[in-house]
Amino acid sequence: MKTSLILILLVLATGTAAASTDGSAGARACAGSQLSGSFTAVRGSAGAGSISYALTLRNRSAGACVLTGLPQGVLLGRRGGRLPTHVTAVFPGALAAVLVTLKLGQSARATARFSPDVPGVGEGHVGACEPTAYSFRVTGQGGGSTTVKLVPPTSVCEHGSLRFTAYGPA
């Protein structure tokens, strides 16, 4: 735990130093209103009952902002209703977060791995785990949110379990 905290602080300090040398010193955490994006299936990633989707967020504001760590948010159904969602790290305990500075038009990416058709404990039968998710409402680390479409829409089994990588440059 102590080692993880030291690693996170070191990464944040390094990211802050890098931000000051590229002209984006003082950039704040990205607010949802600053972002737009997509959440799209990664071609060729399906196999062994799971698939990967790439979450790409683009800064659409004039000011620079930063993202770090795991994406946070909630899956939404066809009409925008909340669906079960549980975000965890792909490799729990081994998360190395970087500070990604986004200037206007720049993007960050995180990849989620999940099962679209293998039910978890207490779910329905194979192929009908959870209702189909049509979008993901991403919480901005600076407050607010932005909603991105899942392409294609899909069920997320194991009660909406999304195993994400940390944000990185796109």
How do residues 28-56 score in pLDDT, each as one tens digit?
999 999 999 999 999 999 998 999 999 99
Average pLDDT over the chain reads: 85
Cβ pair 119, 73 in contact under 8 A: no
Provide CB contacts within 8 A for 102, sequence distance 6+: 30, 57, 58, 59, 64, 65, 66, 67, 108
Instruction: State which residues form the domain around 6.
Output: 2-169
pLDDT for position 95: 62
CB atoms closer than 10 angstroms to residue 11: 18
Q: How many domains does the chain have?
A: 1
pLDDT for position 42: 98
Q: What is the pTM for the complete model shown?
A: 0.83
CATH of residue 107's domain is 2.60.40.10
How do residues 108-149 score in pLDDT, each as one tens digit?
999 999 999 888 888 776 666 899 999 999 999 999 999 999
